[in-house]
Amino acid sequence: MPLCLDDRDQWRPGRKYLYIDQAYSKAVIKAGGDPRLLAMDSDPRDQVNEVEGLILPGGDDFQPFEPHRYQKSVAFNPISEKQLKFDQAILDAAQSREIPILGICYGAQLMALHQGGSLHYHLPEDLPGSQDHQLPERDGVHSIEIKPQTRLSEIVKQGEIDVNSLHHQGIASPGEGFRICAQARDGVIEAIESDNTPFQIGVQWHPERLLGPAGEGLLRALVSACESR
């Protein structure tokens, strides 16, 4: 898992921090895996050569090309340019090695952009009438529909399931070689996966904080795919 970068003095002025929510490593261990944290000052390809799978965790916002289109009340927390370049390089290296990849929230959006896809930068304005997708972290959930005959449906084994939801940005198109494998009832894309490789899945929800097949089950499937290599 690549670490997140605070280079805007959000934590302490004059310092830069690499960090990640401990929930990710705990969830990987619970799923039977051995989490490794990837620091961005090392060579991305060398680091990817040392692991058997990749999680792209949640992160900050992608900056819209035309931010003036959005109301002044919309607050974007843009991802650091250094962070973005490192994450892109890590993803590219992982795809070159064809190791299993799980993108979470920002990570799923990064996967779509990497394939030439596109984003909704603020769902309430880009998709008027869509439901609220930025729900309370502790107990906010909504229902999604998982498309049949997809890798995700093989893992979850349910056509409809409740997931948590902490995002205001979303995937508009999944990009070349990827397909939509889950959507919310309002049509918002909730998961994408590769057409070709065995395990490249991006989800908008946070499985590291979710029980059941879309949480623990998804992470166990990732660990199993890594072990199968």
Q: What does the pLDDT look like over 2-29, one tens digit per residue?
A: 999 988 877 788 888 899 999 999 999 9
Alpha-carbon separation of residue 98 from 42, 197, 200 (angstroms)? 21, 7, 9
Of the chain, the percentage scoring pLDDT greater than 70 comes to: 100
Model confidence at 137, pLDDT cuts 50, 70, 90, reads confident
What is the reported pLDDT for 219? 98
SS3 48: helix
pTM score, whole prediction: 0.95
Note the pLDDT tens digit of each residue in 202-229: 999 999 999 999 999 999 999 999 998 7
Residue 52 has pLDDT above 90, yes or no: yes
Q: Is the pLDDT of residue 133 over 90?
A: yes
Contact 4, 20 (CB under 8 A): yes
CA distance to 88, 125, 145, 152, 196, per residue, from 201 (Å)? 16, 27, 16, 8, 11
Question: How do residues 25-37 score in pLDDT, each as one tens digit?
Answer: 999 999 999 999 9
Arithmetic mean of pLDDT, 179-190: 97
Around Cβ 228, how many Cβ atoms within 10 Å? 10
pLDDT at 74 over 80: yes
Q: Which sequence spans correspond to the domains of the chain? A: 4-228
Provide the pLDDT confidence category of residue 41 given band limits of 50, 70 and 90: confident
Residues 6+ apart with CB under 8 A from 2: 37, 38, 40, 56, 57, 86, 87, 90
Q: What is the predicted pLDDT for the residue at 197?
A: 81
Radius of gyration of the chain (CA): 17
Predicted pLDDT of residue 89: 97
CATH, domain range 4-228: 3.40.50.880
The letter for the amino acid at 35 is P
Q: Any residues with CB less than 8 A from the CB of 135 and at least 6 apart, and which?
A: 141, 142, 164, 165, 166
